[in-house]
Amino acid sequence: MDIPAFEKLRDKQIITDDDLEKIKAFKTSQPVSVHWDLRTILYFGIFLFTTGTGIIVYKNIDTIGHDIIIAVIALCCAGCFFYCIKKAKGYANKKVQSPNVWFDYILLAGCLLLLTLIGYLQFQYNAFGSRWGLATFMPMVLLFISAYYFDHLGVLSLAIVNLAAWTGITVTPLQILDENDFSSERIILSGIVLGAGLVAFSLLTLKRNLKSHFAFTYKNFGTHILFIALLAALFEFEDIYLIIFPVFAAVAFFFYKNALKENSFYFLVITLLYSYIAVGYFVIRLLEITGGGMGSVYLGLFYFIASGIGLIRVLMHYNKIIKSNDSIQ
């Protein structure tokens, strides 16, 4: 806080001498916070450590030997989980504070090492055979249990990514995966179901007050997966795009109302941007139907310029509305 600025306010009698003394006392008593700097460095350190482990394993796989590498990874992983179980405060429906500063990082390291271990076992020893679904299902379950028991948002994000991988692998025939054909209708439909499921689960989490601080993570993943899957459906299923477009509009309307209700800038912006892409595609299809040619190209260009400027005005308008609903409390 800038003391001379407050001294000026005191001279104008906007604040009292007592207020100024409080501000001065607060400023002198507060040490410079390096909390977030240290946390960022620690998180970065964990990611570098686990990445480095992977690179060392890859480069020395012929000289060290598989058994030793697996044993070391398993030992480190077990050590991390042993520490976390010993220090954990136990499961609770509400948010549980970490017992100490190191806890979150050791848990994250343990979970990342667990993923490396399972991947290694499957790649080298084919531990799960050709049941790739099981190879992703196992770590997913362990990650979800860890996220809920130890109350860790980072591990929850890993678990949701694993859930998406498991869903994709389970619904897709192996042949399609081998051919890297990701435009398969099964993948798109599973994306829609997964996205909608995650959003519904976030609402349920809030309603039942079951780790309600996890709701944003579920909703964030769910919203992006659902919108991307619906856009893929719109582009891929060309014959029925007139049916998919109203579905997209209904989903976008739901998120729009929800964003306004929660005063969320983030969800409002992503809803408007995804909708802008969908409407743009719809307009191009309409221009194509009308015959194409240079006239349609000019119309399309005018549409994108006008709609871009129009949406800018809309964003500015909603910025004002949401800001006016802000509270100083």
Partner 1 sequence: MTAYNNTDLYNKYVQEQASEAFRNKCIDEAVYRNILEKHPHTLYTPNYFIRIGLALLTFVAIVFSLTLVWLITGASSDEAIMTLLLFFCDSLLCLA
Residues at the site binding partner 1, with contacts judged by CB under 8 A: 1-2, 5-6, 9, 14-16, 19, 22-23, 26, 265-266, 268-269, 272-273, 276, 297-298, 301-302, 304-305, 308-309, 311-312, 315-316, 318-319, 322-323, 328
Nearer to partner 1, 243 or 312 (CB): 312
Nearer to partner 1, 132 or 318 (CB): 318
Least gap, CB of 265 to partner 1 (angstroms) = 4
Closest CA to 117 of 73, 79, 80, 158: 73
H or E element: which one contains 238? Answer: none
Phi first, then psi: give them for residue 184, nearest 5 degrees: -55, 140
Least gap, CB of 4 to partner 1 (angstroms) = 10
Nearer to partner 1, 74 or 272 (CB): 272
Are the beta carbons of 23 and 1 closer than 8 angstroms? yes
Nearer to partner 1, 196 or 260 (CB): 260
Nearer to partner 1, 246 or 291 (CB): 291
H or E element: which one contains 180? Answer: none
Exposure class string for 125-151: b at 16+ Cβ within 10 A, else e: eeebeeebbebbbbbbebbbebbbbbb
Least gap, CB of 326 to partner 1 (angstroms) = 10
Task: At 116, list the tokens.
Answer: 């490396």
Least gap, CB of 275 to partner 1 (angstroms) = 12
Least gap, CB of 36 to partner 1 (angstroms) = 16
Task: At 252, list the tokens.
Answer: 């976008």
Residue found by looking up tokens 């499957």 in the block: 122
